[in-house]
Amino acid sequence: MAINKIGVLGAGTMGQGIVQISAEAGFTVVLVDIAQNIVDAAMKRIDKTWQKAVEKGKITEDSKTQNLQKITAGTDMNMLKDCDVVIEAVLEEIDIKKAVFKQLDEICSAEAILATNTSALSITEIAASTKRSSKVLGMHFFNPVPAMKLVEVIPAADTTEEAVEIIMDLCKKIGKEPVKAKETPGFIVNRLLTPYMAEAMIAYQEGIASAEDIDKAMKYGAGMPMGPLALADMVGLDVCLKVGEYFLKEFGDSKYRPALALKQKVRAGHLGMKTGKGFYDYTKK
């Protein structure tokens, strides 16, 4: 099955990035969100990104115009009806995802593949809200989408190998490196990163070293581009805690326990970069 038209549902952080790279790769793209002002704001940000690329001489004014012409954006989900693939990037709430997949199933052609960018929810549960569970799968992009090469492709219980292959191929066409992963909490990247960051927090809590020295050690001793505590502050400590608690519940293994230091920071409202304080104090920088 040839993919020509890509639908993106949700014009937030992830949706915008997916729209941008899909149009850059030459696909016709349809972007849908719930409110026109959200759609307009997303299109403005995409336009600004391409304008900057024009000013830096990375793309021509003509290719910017052509990219923009490939995108249709609005608030009516029926606009997605003749898309070959729809990538859902709405809020991380199971009830919202199940409701939009039910609608997409009714709107889209029987051949269309429906993908979710969920970070942690059950793809099988989302697929079960449709009558095409063989054509529903996970397509997990990373933030910021234009910069991060990886996409984790996750089949649900009934997904066909054919649908997986079509999406693996699409990932390559939009400039990404796909890897296939089983449907388990955190897939690959977050499965490894979550306990890594948690252990750094436990080391900090035990006073093994300061936050700066833990991060410095991992940067200069293990070649990490940034330290685990700075990374946690960037992700958001509330998000780290939520994921840690979810892992502990799903796996039932105490190795996934969130550090007390993390819980205390979240209780204090110190959620990392977004609130100005976390393992570091950003108000002083």
Question: Segment near ligand NAD (CB under 6 A), from 56-64, 65-73, 88-96, 198-206?
Answer: 88-96
Is the dihedral angle over the CA atoms 5, 96, 42, 35 positive or is it negative?
Answer: positive
**Shortest distance, position 32 Cβ to ligand NAD, whole Å:** 6
Q: Which is nearer to ligand NAD, 1 or 234 (CB)?
A: 234
- The interface with ligand NAD within residues 155-194 (CB under 6 A) comprises none
DSSP string across 44-78: HHHHHHHHHHHHTTSS-HHHHHHHHHTEEEES-GG
**Shortest distance, position 114 Cβ to ligand NAD, whole Å:** 13
Question: Is there a catalytic annotation at residue 190?
Answer: yes
Q: Which is nearer to ligand NAD, 182 or 284 (CB)?
A: 182
Question: Segment near ligand NAD (CB under 6 A), from 89-97, 162-170, 198-206, 266-274?
Answer: 89-97
CA distance 281 to 259: 19
Closest CA to 121 of 190, 60, 57: 190
Question: Is there a catalytic annotation at residue 117?
Answer: no
Please report whether residue 228 would count as binding ligand NAD according to CB under 6 A.
no
Taking phi over 0 as left and psi of -120 to 50 as alpha, with beta for the rest, 71 belongs to: beta
Taking phi over 0 as left and psi of -120 to 50 as alpha, with beta for the rest, 259 belongs to: beta
**Shortest distance, position 184 Cβ to ligand NAD, whole Å:** 16
Please report whether residue 234 would count as binding ligand NAD according to CB under 6 A.
no
Q: Helix or strand or coil: residue 9? A: strand
Among 21, 73, 80, 89, binds ligand NAD (CB under 6 A): 89
Token code pair at residue 9: 């549902």
Helix and strand numbers, DSSP H then E, in the chain: 11, 8
DSSP 148: -
DSSP 141: E
Cβ-Cβ contacts under 8 Å for 45 (sequence gap 6 or more): 16
Question: Segment near ligand NAD (CB under 6 A), from 45-53, 116-124, 170-178, 223-231?
Answer: 116-124
Q: Which is nearer to ligand NAD, 11 or 127 (CB)?
A: 11
> Which one is catalytic: 119, 122, 129, 133?
119
Q: Which is nearer to ligand NAD, 176 or 203 (CB)?
A: 176
Q: Which is nearer to ligand NAD, 53 or 94 (CB)?
A: 94
**Shortest distance, position 21 Cβ to ligand NAD, whole Å:** 14
Question: Is there a catalytic annotation at residue 212?
Answer: no
Amino acid residing at 32? V
* CA-CA-CA-CA dihedral for 27, 30, 33, 35, to nearest 10: 130
- Tell me the helix, strand and coil percentages in the chain, rounded to 5: 50, 15, 35
Please report whether residue 12 would count as binding ligand NAD according to CB under 6 A.
yes
Please report whether residue 133 would count as binding ligand NAD according to CB under 6 A.
no
Please report whether residue 65 would count as binding ligand NAD according to CB under 6 A.
no
Binding site for ligand NAD (CB under 6 A): 9-15, 32-34, 38, 89-92, 96, 100, 117-119, 141-143
Question: Active-site positions?
Answer: 119, 140, 152, 190
